[in-house]
Amino acid sequence: MTEGDEAPRPPGVAVLALAIFMVAFGTNVSTPFLVLYRDRLDLGPSATQAIFSVYVVGIIAALLVSGPLSDRIGRRAVVLPCLGISAAASLLMIFGRDGYIVLLLARVLLGVVSGAVLSVGSAWLLELYGTGRQATAALTATIASYAGFGLGPVMSAVFHRLDIAPLVAPFIAHAGLVLVALVAALGIPDPRPATPGGLWLVRLRVPPRAKRIFWTAIVPATIWTFAFPSTGFSLFPVLLSDFAKGNTVLVGALSGTITAFGGLVARPLIGRLGASRSLVTGVVIGVTGYLLGSIAFATETWYPILPAAACLGAASGTLSASALTLLGGFADDASRGSLTSTMYLIAYPGMMMPIIVTSIASVSSISIALVVITSLAVLAAGIVGRSVAGLGVANPSAREA
């Protein structure tokens, strides 16, 4: 019997997945509105992209503390308060529509809860599922988060299309929904007892047997986990907004939704290829997305960003699920929270990619910037592929999935 065949779903898994979903949902409610914020607040290219990317500051701050903290005090004590903060941050976004600093602060708070809930929630899912079901737990976390990332823009586009206070109503709706998830999450069991006396900050703790593949394959692949989809969510829709002919919010929502749901191809890929080979495949798919987005910019038409978004999302979901699956096999109970947070700590700075592109473009051009990041992604694919082939890495996740 393979992992998950006829196995009952552990208590609390569905509700925890809902909590992860709602936090991810909230992070992208504002994404289709970047052009509206740009015009309303008279922002330049990098300032506009900062609205999306600045929440990585909150993510990194959370990742430095949340994993070790959850190892000390338990997963529940970290995740549940963060759900309340998620609701508060959405309400703060309403005031940000007329104040850029408030807008950035709200996004940072959303980053804090995203970093904490996605990393600690993933570790919690691994413990709820138990030993031997790492692939199922990793894919559950991936599906919940990417579905949330994808449906947030849909709700925003609907409110905008119906002209129902688009910079207000979607955030009120999210705040209400996440509070419902918080109430439901009160009954989730926490199978791992708190262990007072541990670390307060994350410490990279890689088992000796896994160090080589971690540094030569997982790390160079993981740094692209969010570098790829950030361009689908934020960069390409804004760059091509002048060619969307009044449909900027719709195009932004479509690109964001397709990017997120593209991540759901992770399960069949990992099931067929195994986690280690999927790392290579994920980077290659992301390179394809960058190429399609560059074609859209070069031809001044927004249509190619939709297949680009699908590739960028598929790359991200594949890289995330592959790394989580491999890490789930490396970590013991005492280090799982810290090691999972470490993976996200490596991955999330990639959310700054839109600002990196606009910064390079400010001293050259967008075309040159796109060539630079695509070339770096090609180099990463080569490094990861060579590492996996050279180490002869087994693919246990192909048997688990």
Domain assignments of the chain as residue spans, ordered by start: 13-187+209-400
How far, in Å, CA of 305 to CA of 5, rounded?
38
How far, in Å, CA of 115 to CA of 57, rounded?
10
Residue 148 CA neighbour count, 13 Å, CB half: 25
- 174-177-182-183 Cα dihedral, nearest 10 degrees: 150
How far, in Å, CA of 192 to CA of 377, rounded?
38
Q: Residue range 358-379: average pLDDT?
A: 94
Question: What fold characterizes domain 13-187+209-400?
Answer: Growth Hormone; Chain: A; (1.20.1250)
Q: Please list, in sequence order, all residues whose beta carbon lies within 8 angstroms of the beta carbon of residue 382, skipping any fewer than 6 positions away.
A: none
Q: Residue range 23-48: average pLDDT?
A: 93
pLDDT tens per residue across span 87-142? 999 999 999 999 999 999 999 999 999 989 988 998 888 888 876 777 788 778 87
Q: What is the largest CA-CA distance in the chain?
A: 59
Tell me the two tokens of residue 118.
């996605």
Q: Please list, in sequence order, all residues whose beta carbon lies within 8 angstroms of the beta carbon of residue 69, skipping any fewer than 6 positions away.
A: 78, 200
- pLDDT at residue 158 tops 90: yes
pLDDT tens per residue across span 62-81? 878 887 788 788 888 999 99
Tell me the two tokens of residue 31.
């994404």
Nearest to 312 by CA among 367, 341, 351: 351
Out of 81-85, 118-122, 265-269, 347-351, the most confident range is 81-85
3-state secondary structure of 225: coil
CB 227 within 8 Å of CB 350: yes
